[in-house]
Structure 1
Amino acid sequence: MTAATPLIEVRGLKKYFGSGARPVRAVDDVSFAIRPGETLGLVGESGSGKSTIGRTVLRLVERTEGEVLYRGEDIGKFSGERLRKLRSKLQIIFQDPYASLNPKMRIGAILGEALSTHGLHKGAAARDARIAELLETVGLRPEHASRFPHEFSGGQRQRIGVARALAVEPEFIVADEPLSALDVSIQAQVINLLADLRERLSLTMLFISHDLDVVEYLCDRVVVLYLGKVMEVASTAELFARPTHPYTQALLAASPKPDPLQPTQHVALQGDIPSPIAPPSGCVFRTRCPHAIEACALTVPPLVEISPGHHRACLRTDLLAPAAEGRLP
């Protein structure tokens, strides 16, 4: 497998909830690829389908249509022992560290459960040594194995969640908004931990977040979602320096600025995000887009490459004028 070959490839992924004529279109025809060692950021407003994509990629929920390929094979066709072995290669760090750990189990038992399920240790001594190693890897102490989840802070619990994901030595991790339930004062610790582990263990990650500053720091490329559809895809440097889709521009303009005296370019969005039960025709963003034209209601814009590695889904090619370049302050 070369560095250019995707480890994970998503093709035409759809996930609808409910049956009948009006299902909830949580994810609607999404495609992207993640190369080995790459961290891909998935951003968008609440309700855009970010977490659903992460869980569907891991088969924690089943897809409605499309394919998810792991090393070129469709994991939707895996079953039995083959699927169980796949679980050790693909892991998740959940959003809420308070809800994702069993309050009745000690930390050693939580980590040991993953090891036992996948047969990754031989004997109690090897198991305990591996648990101690995992705790030290995420900045905790071996003696913490005897404690219960309620004896830890939120940041420490999230470190335990990271350790649990690492226990089975995965190749790919979905980090599903791992910072959103944490105090701002300890978010930086978890960010630095993930960055360090990514480099040290050569992890491939799908990092789901609404915090654009964290995405800019941690991710190699970014996929921008709106109402279950991809609006723009680019390298992190390119996306933040030259956002070309009106929705991406609005997201960056709404991001808090560290300097209150820095001039800010506001991008006005009208109304609220529509319901995924009845998304707008054509471009799903058109009802809030300041640049929408009549054609936007009639045609679903394809994802078109506008420069090497930079794709966007928008009919307004005139918005790509050089004057629009440069990161929104």
Structure 2
Amino acid sequence: MAPTDTAAPLLEIAHLRKHFGSGPHPVRAVDDVSFTIRRGETLGLVGESGSGKSTIGRLLTRLVDPTNGQMRYHGGPVPQDLAQLSQSQYRPLRSQIQIIFQDPYASLNPRMRIREVLAEALDTHGLAKGAARLPRIHQLLEQVGLRPEHAERFPHEFSGGQRQRIGIARALAVEPQFIVADEPLSALDVSIQAQVVNLLGELKEQLGLTLLFISHDLDVVEYLCDRVVVLYLGRVMEIAPTEALYATPQHPYTQALLAAAPIPDPAQRRSIALLQGDLPSPANPPSGCVFRTRCPQAEARCASADMQLHEVAPGHLHACWKTAPSHPAP
């Protein structure tokens, strides 16, 4: 079941930044991002390519280090700021925080049998030792819809969908609480995507997982996620429960993003103009609202607009001054 609005937070991200390069114009991949991931929910992270979605996933798993900001993790008896931990301090948490990579072809070692791929994860964290090892590997394969005999095969002997299932099994091997699914469908055929989406939903319910689902497929996000965070050029444009976001998007960027989704009825006309042009350079983002150079509703004051999120309805926040109330969201 989806968590309630009062569900305890598992992760609290506050003013998170990741800048690549030095000098006066570093690449601002993630720039002052704040949101909460509630325990037991599936949170969608959407936006165009280059918006910073995958960088946030890699920051939360500490595959890259943040420039500054906080990532408070409530998975243990004492909350820990993941941003302040060294790699050695973070290592014990890797069994609790896992990632499913975008490319199932590149994320598996082609020289290792699947049994060895899964055993490597178990060995790293001292799990399922001795006689318990092989039964645990078979259990993981069956959990993701594969057969025990698949443990003896190499990655090249599997289809793309099967390889992604193996990637999911590897993430589950260490019994995590939180999983970052980084565009897990983008390398798969459309016919296979629905199977993997359903598998993720079933595993989340069965194991009580919390998911950050990073995707550009808005239909899948609507189906799978409880809430959605919309990113543009490393900044948060809107946060809302999924139903509210799709029914009444508040930010002009969210409206344009949803309008760009394919319409199955050729007779139906779009009510919102599609965006023109590409994202500005993250090394030199626009002043004020970073979306203003492509926004069909932009005005002169947008060049100095406040980019802080404001609440327009319970749990529904966005960063556009036009419909924002006079008080910022807490």
Q: Distance in 2 between matches of 1:128 and 1:16?
A: 43
The Cα shift of 1:58 comes to 1.1
Q: Is the 8 A contact 1:12 1:67 kept in 2?
A: yes
Unaligned runs of 5+ in 2: 326-330
Deviations 1:164-190 (A, max 9, x none): 000000000000000000011111110
Identity %: 70
Q: Distance in 1 between matches of 2:100 and 2:314?
A: 32
The Cα shift of 1:133 comes to 0.2
The Cα shift of 1:76 comes to 2.6
Q: Is the 8 A contact 2:125 2:174 kept in 1?
A: yes
Matched, 1:116 2:123: yes
Report the counterpart of residue 21 of structure 1 in structure 2: 24
Report the counterpart of residue 100 of structure 2 in structure 1: 93
Within-5 A mapping of 1:210-229: 210-229=216-235
Q: Is the 8 A contact 1:222 1:233 kept in 2?
A: yes
Q: Is the 8 A contact 1:13 1:68 kept in 2?
A: yes
Tell me whether 45-54 or 253-262 shows the greater mean CA deviation. Answer: 253-262
Within-5 A mapping of 1:302-317: 302-317=308-323
Tell me whether 64-73 or 221-230 shows the greater mean CA deviation. Answer: 64-73
Out of 62, 69, 72, the position equivalent to 2:72 is 69
Deviations 1:254-283 (A, max 9, x none): 001223233332323232210001000000
Report the counterpart of residue 8 of structure 1 in structure 2: 11
The Cα shift of 1:80 comes to 6.4
Query: 1:110 is aligned with what amino acid?
Result: V
Q: Distance in 2 between matches of 1:268 and 1:207?
A: 25
Report the counterpart of residue 325 of structure 1 in structure 2: none
Out of 179, 183, 199, the position equivalent to 2:205 is 199
The Cα shift of 1:105 comes to 0.3
Unaligned runs of 5+ in 1: 320-329
**Cα distance, 1:318–1:268 mapped onto 2, change above 3 Å:** farther
Report the counterpart of residue 304 of structure 2 in structure 1: 298
Q: Distance in 2 between matches of 1:186 and 1:269?
A: 30
Deviations 1:212-255 (A, max 9, x none): 00000000000000000000000000000000100000011000
**Cα distance, 1:94–1:318 mapped onto 2, change above 3 Å:** closer
Report the counterpart of residue 107 of structure 1 in structure 2: 114
Report the counterpart of residue 323 of structure 1 in structure 2: none
TM-score (norm 2): 0.93
Q: Distance in 1 between matches of 2:54 and 2:27?
A: 15
Report the counterpart of residue 150 of structure 2 in structure 1: 144
The Cα shift of 1:302 comes to 1.5
Q: Distance in 2 between matches of 1:57 and 1:13?
A: 10
The Cα shift of 1:27 comes to 0.2
The Cα shift of 1:81 comes to 5.7
Q: Is the 8 A contact 1:28 1:229 kept in 2?
A: yes
Q: Is the 8 A contact 1:281 1:300 kept in 2?
A: no
Out of 229, 233, 239, the position equivalent to 1:233 is 239
Matched, 1:243 2:272: no
Q: Is the 8 A contact 1:138 1:193 kept in 2?
A: yes
The Cα shift of 1:317 comes to 2.0
The Cα shift of 1:299 comes to 2.3
**Cα distance, 1:107–1:29 mapped onto 2, change above 3 Å:** same
Q: Is the 8 A contact 2:12 2:37 kept in 1?
A: yes
Query: 2:220 is aligned with what amino acid?
Result: V
Q: Distance in 2 between matches of 1:81 and 1:14?
A: 22
Helix, strand or coil at the partner of 1:7: strand
Q: Distance in 2 between matches of 1:264 and 1:307?
A: 26
Q: Is the 8 A contact 2:260 2:274 kept in 1?
A: no
**Cα distance, 1:235–1:286 mapped onto 2, change above 3 Å:** same
The Cα shift of 1:83 comes to 2.0
Q: Is the 8 A contact 2:311 2:324 kept in 1?
A: no
Matched, 1:268 2:274: yes
Q: Distance in 2 between matches of 1:213 and 1:67?
A: 31
Tell me whether 69-78 or 301-310 shows the greater mean CA deviation. Answer: 69-78
Q: Is the 8 A contact 1:249 1:267 kept in 2?
A: no
Q: Distance in 1 between matches of 2:235 and 2:87?
A: 32
Query: 1:122 is aligned with what amino acid?
Result: K
Out of 29, 35, 48, the position equivalent to 1:32 is 35
Q: Distance in 2 between matches of 1:108 and 1:93?
A: 18
Q: Is the 8 A contact 2:16 2:34 kept in 1?
A: yes
Helix, strand or coil at the partner of 2:93: helix
TM-score (norm 1): 0.94
CA RMSD, Structure 1 to Structure 2 (Å) = 1.5
Q: Is the 8 A contact 1:268 1:290 kept in 2?
A: no
Q: Distance in 2 between matches of 1:207 and 1:35?
A: 13
Helix, strand or coil at the partner of 2:320: coil
**Cα distance, 1:194–1:318 mapped onto 2, change above 3 Å:** closer
Report the counterpart of residue 326 of structure 1 in structure 2: none
